[in-house]
Amino acid sequence: MEKLILHLGVHKTATTHFQSRFWNSREKLAKKEVSYLGLNETRAFFTSQIGAKKKEIKAEAKLFVKAAKCGLISDENILGGTDKPKGTSAYKDAEGRLGQFLDLVGVDRIETHVTIRDPEAYLISRYCEYLRHYPYLNIGEYFDEMFVRDFSWVPLIEIIKKVTSSEPVVTTFESIFENEEEYLKKVTGVDLEFEPASVSHSVKRSKISQEAYDILSLVAEHYPGHMVRKVLDTIDRNRQLSKSSPLKPFSKSLSEHLKERYEKDKEVLGLA
C-alpha cells in the first residue's frame, strides 16, 4: 500500500453515517484506486488485535495492505471506546492504541482525519453511547473520575501527530454538514458522486432525552443491568410521543466554560 487514509472519528461526530456512505460508494471509490475496508473487516482484521497478547493477522488483512494502492479505513474505536473516562482526556490509551494499530497495518505514508465538536455535546453524546454498550452507570458516576472542566482536544491531536509523524487533518463537527460532499472529497481525495447513507437507527441514533434517561435510571434501579440496554434499544427505534427535553447534566457555568475552551482549541488548531 502506497498510502493509508485513516478516518479516526471521534465518536459521536457522524462517523457511522460517513462509514455507511464510504461502504455504499466502495465500488466507485475502487474505480478511483481508493480501497475502502468496511468497518466489520477493519475491526476483525486490525482493531480487535489491539492489546491482544497473541496477535493473529489474517491473510485477508495482509492481502488488503498488499493489494490496495490507496487504502481507506474508518474506525473511531482505534482511539478507544466510550467506556468511563478518567483524567482530562476522553481517550486515555490513544497513543498506545494508535501505535499498535499502525504497527499492525505497517504503512509508512499516512493521512489522518479527525473530527472534533463542542465538548459538552460530545461528552453527553458519549455517555449516551456508553449506555448502549456497557453496564449502567448514572451520569454522575460516569464522569466522577474525569476533570471535565479541563477537557481539551489539543492533547489528543498532539498525540495523533506524534504517533503518525504527520499533521492530522482536523475538522469541526459543525462544519461537516455545511457541505457534506466537500468533506467526503477532502477525506478520500477523490471527486465523485457519493452514495447516500443507509437508512438505519444505528446510523441515525443520537443523544437520549431527559425523559429517556429518567426511564433508564428507573429500570436500572429495579431490573438486571442487561435490561437497560434492551430498553434503550427500544427507545432508539421509536419516536418519543411526549415533548422531548434535552439531557443537560452540567451547570450553566461549566457549560459556558466548555464552550470557551472549545473556541480556544479551535484557535490553537487553526480552525477559528
Distances (CA, A) of 64 to 68, 69, 71, 79, 157: 6, 9, 8, 21, 27
140 CB-contact burial (10 Å; exposed 0-12 / middle 13-18 / buried 19+):
exposed
- The CATH architecture to which 3-117+150-200+252-268 belongs is 3-Layer(aba) Sandwich (3.40)
What's the pLDDT score for residue 232?
A: 96
pLDDT value for 90: 84
| pLDDT given at position 202 | 67
Domain ranges of the chain: 3-117+150-200+252-268
SS3 category, 272: coil
Q: Which residues of the chain have pLDDT under 70?
A: 201-204
Overall pTM surpassing 0.85 (yes/no)? yes
Contact 87, 149 (CB under 8 A): no
The radius of gyration of the chain from alpha carbons, rounded to an integer in Å, stands at 19
CB 232 within 8 A of CB 212: yes
CA distance 202 to 219: 22
| Amino acid sitting at position 228 | V
Residue 177 makes CB contacts below 8 A (sequence gap 6+) with 14
Q: What pLDDT shows up at residue 103? A: 94
Give CA–CA dist 255/260, Å, rounded.
Answer: 9
Q: Quick: pLDDT tens for 246-264.
A: 999 999 999 999 999 999 9
